[in-house]
A and B are shown apart, each in its own frame.
Chain A
Amino acid sequence: MSDVLLEVKGLKIEATAYPPGEAPHNITIVEDVSFTVDKGKVLGLIGESGAGKSTIGLSAMAYGRGGVRITGGTVMVNGRDVLQAGPAGLRSLRGREVTYVAQSAAAAFNPAKKLMEQVIEATLHHKLMSREEAEARAIALFARLGLPNPEKIGNRYPHQVSGGQLQRVMTAMALCPKPDLVVFDEPTTALDVTTQIEVLAAIKEAIVDTGVAALYITHDLAVVAQVADHIMVLRGGKMVEYGTTDHIINTPTQAYTQELVSVRSINHKEKIGGAPVLSVKGITARYRGTKFDVLKDVTVDLPEAQTLAIVGESGSGKSTLARVITGLLPPKSGEIIFNGRTLAPDFNARSRDDLREVQMIYQMADVAMNPRQTVGTIIGRPLEFYFGLRGDAKKQRIQELLDEIEMGEGFIDRYPAELSGGQKQRVCIARALAAKPKMIICDEVTSALDPLVADGILKLLLNLQKIENVAYLFITHDLATVRAIADSIAVMYQGRVVRYGSKTEVLSPPFDDYTDLLLSSVPEMQLGWLERTIATRKMDAAGN
């Protein structure tokens, strides 16, 4: 009896593209992918967005989402080629031998039905157990996955349960019918960092307990290193490297894999001290019409030409702090001192120079640029508006800025829709620089980018800081980024600054409880890290 559960050979997947105004044509999404998964083993599929990981994962169930077609190769599950199975064969396979955990649990559950009913649905449909047995198994799984109130939680509706809990319920749903293989499609990507780690641990325990095999899809190499026995690296629908986790993490052979492994290894020596260009003193703020303070007595300094990283999860108030500093949300109390003078709380009351010296770069570059303006117009407007540059002088300065962001002259007449994610963000950086600011607020500017692209942006920002002597207020939830780029750090939790100081100070023990939780939630690219961390944690995550 072979131990091989899933065997994929020469998989080819295509789709039809419908570019407006042209004839539709075929594009190949996945080409010549082969791998095997043994019983009880976990294979991690890793790659950047667009690499085809989800598509390959779904092909294990012979399913193509959104018009995608599997056109070549074989997919053998338990010795049968599922690509040749008819509709009845597929219905027998799905939900019984192979199950699926989707990326967004909130969307994957039927909002009109209770959770228990959906969790045991597949099990009952395939007549694997009686209803009492299925419910008992479900409750046992809920408990194993660390859900609160396992007996009662099945009676709730999806919207009554938090995101992290819903993800665990979905995992229970996938494990209930005792499948041979579970496909985990980015199960923790949408969760907060501190919650992610607990869900990840719960999933790993469940996998080990039930002895099920798994395909674990993610873009985060550090995450997959914790759960997988083997890893396959994908790029553009093709295999780059395939081997044991140990091999991939510690001795990768391909250049792309090596890049992925060494991500965030930027070394930046922190600078200490210096006159502050920005002083935030005792800022308390709340949104109009709400009853609680979003920011409570926040005080931080940002020295000239340095980077202050504001770290926190969703709800910590870090983005609100940016809105207060830019003047979009006048604070209840406290003041903001910039360049020696107090800034008016409302941006409408600030002078043009005040506005010019504080610039902002946004998280989603797609919506941060007017889609109907060319790159040249976008970068050129601040030049016109602040400095009155026109004609050749303006064109030349645009050129210089494009050089600084490492993009060539040909980009002046391009539209944002024609640029890649990284290029879009670079143009936003150039737009900010065009104003010759003293400080740039970077609001999660790398969070929406792939790891390698994000790396490039961070390196660029560090370079520009040296050349232009500009200070950064760097808002992020990602500690790895913080390590790479910050000179000083402020950790925020529920509207307060819980820890503040230079990078070395903040990142060295002894820690307060929250910082300890936060730091321990960032997956390291080492085997066995997960087990060690869960054992030594002191504080429970907010259960998001």
Chain B
Amino acid sequence: MHPVLKLLVQRIALGLILLLAASVLIFVGTQILPGDVAQSILGQGATPETLANLRAELGLNDPPLTRYLNWLFAALQGDLGTALTNGQDIASSMGKRLGNTLFLAVCAAVVAVPLAIILGLIAVRYQGRWPDRVISTITLATVSVPEFLLGYIAIFVLSVQFRVFPSLATVYDGMPFMDRLDAIALPVIVLVLVVLGHMMRMTRAAILNVMESAYVETAELKGLRKFTIIARHALPNAIAPVVNVVMLNLAYLVVGVVVVEVVFVYPGMGQYLVDHVSKRDVPVVQACGLVFAAVYIGLNLVADIISILSNPRLRHPK
């Protein structure tokens, strides 16, 4: 079997195993405290009988392994359980919200990725000179600043003082597309800033690494034009590390989305998760945790796959 194929299969298998193990971890994480789910639902005044009934109904008396397997199999079939707080089916509540979150994330990614690459190229072209320094300082600032600060500054400046965008990102079904874009403009801007800092630093480093390779020098000593050197020699070798960087940083989006949704009261997965954590709604937390973990693992998996596919040593073995 071609070594690339073998590696790919191995990596994907590893990803699946990781996802499984993560599901165990999430399940275990919510079972740490013997502290009673039934108690927290019914409150202090519940009688022992009602507690016992609820426990039996929720299947809390089964051994942990059984409960885990039940949960897992149900999840694999698309049934993520019902919320404790309002009895609604989690999967359907999540469906719309997941769509909203993905829309937000994709919009942010579409803006952030080209911007990061372009800024990285500029920083390398003018390395050490003022464009590079300015970019570095700005990215240092965005990396050190918590997401909610960026959010509130954005609201303060663009929404309150200058009234360019709405401060609450309310979206609903059947909303016209342009209106939707207008509503999410601010959260997208904030998300872009959150991710841009990290991504840009790493694209700069990746491109610089390639530009300083010996074979770029060889090309220069052949008398090739600068542009030809970059396009023909640097770029093919830079694509893989840059894509890798992009994928890894998109994982930052997963975390940034949570905070941004809360700041802008955007009806997405992040808002959903945070709300139910404070309400201690375990099934919802488990389900959301699983989805987030799956996305994160998936993105890292894609990053690794691209690395494998773009390595000439693997594609053309000796």
Contacts and interface: CB of A to CB of B under 8 A. Distances in A.
**Contact present between A and B (CB < 8 A):** yes
A96 B317 CA distance: 33
Contact of B220 (A92, A94, A109, A160): A94
A492 interface: no
A498 B15 CA distance: 51
B221 A99 contact: yes
A70 interface: no
B223 A95 contact: yes
B223 A102 contact: no
B110 interface: no
Contact of B224 (A95, A102, A104, A159): A95
Interface stretch (B47-55, B81-89, B209-217): B209-217
Given A110-B233, A112-B237, A91 B316 contact: no
A222 B223 CA distance: 33
Interface in A52-101: 61, 63, 65, 90-96, 99-100
A448 to B, nearest CB: 21
A63 B216 CA distance: 13
B6 interface: no
A94 B221 contact: yes
A126 B221 CA distance: 13
B318 interface: yes
Nearest to A107: B214
Interface in A106-132: 107-113, 121-122, 125-126
A415 interface: no
B225 A100 contact: no
Contacts of B215: 107-111
A347 interface: no
A379 B225 CA distance: 55
B312 A102 contact: no
A57 B81 CA distance: 73
Contacts of B10: none
A121 B214 contact: no
A411 interface: no
B222 interface: yes
A112 B236 contact: yes
Given A90-B223, A96-B223, A125-B223, A104 B214 contact: yes
B210 to A, nearest CB: 10
A111 B222 contact: no
Contacts, number: 72
A159 B318 contact: yes
Given A110-B233, A112-B236, A112-B237, A157 B223 contact: no
Contact of A95 (B213, B221, B316): B221
Interface in B187-244: 213-215, 217-225, 228, 233, 236-237
For chain A, the bracket of interface size reads 20 to 34
Contacts of A63: 220-221
B67 interface: no
B163 interface: no
A126 B224 CA distance: 9
Interface size class of B (residues with CB under 8 A): 20 to 34
A52 B219 CA distance: 23
B209 to A, nearest CB: 13
Nearest to A106: B214
A92 B221 CA distance: 10
A110 B318 contact: no
Contact of B222 (A104, A112, A122, A157): A122
B313 interface: yes
Contacts of A110: 215, 218-219, 233, 236-237
A112 B312 contact: yes
Contacts of A94: 220-223
A91 B225 contact: yes
Interface in B261-318: 312-313, 316-318
Nearest to A160: B318
B214 A159 contact: no
Contacts of A125: 222-224, 228
A111 B213 CA distance: 11
Contacts of B233: 110, 113
B223 A65 contact: no
B237 A92 contact: no
B236 A122 contact: no
Contacts of B228: 125
Contacts of B220: 63, 94
B313 A102 contact: no
A346 to B, nearest CB: 34
B128 to A, nearest CB: 10
26 contacts: A61-B221, A94-B220, A94-B221, A95-B221, A95-B222, A96-B223, A99-B221, A100-B218, A102-B214, A102-B218, A107-B213, A108-B214, A109-B215, A110-B215, A110-B218, A110-B233, A110-B236, A111-B215, A113-B233, A113-B236, A122-B224, A125-B222, A125-B223, A157-B316, A160-B317, A160-B318
Going nearest first, the 5 A-B pairs with the smallest beta carbon separation are: A95-B222, A94-B223, A95-B223, A107-B214, A122-B222
Given A102-B217, A110-B233, A125-B228, 14 more contacts: A65-B217, A91-B223, A91-B224, A94-B221, A95-B221, A107-B213, A107-B214, A108-B214, A108-B218, A109-B215, A111-B237, A121-B222, A122-B224, A159-B316
Interface of B: 213-215, 217-225, 228, 233, 236-237, 312-313, 316-318
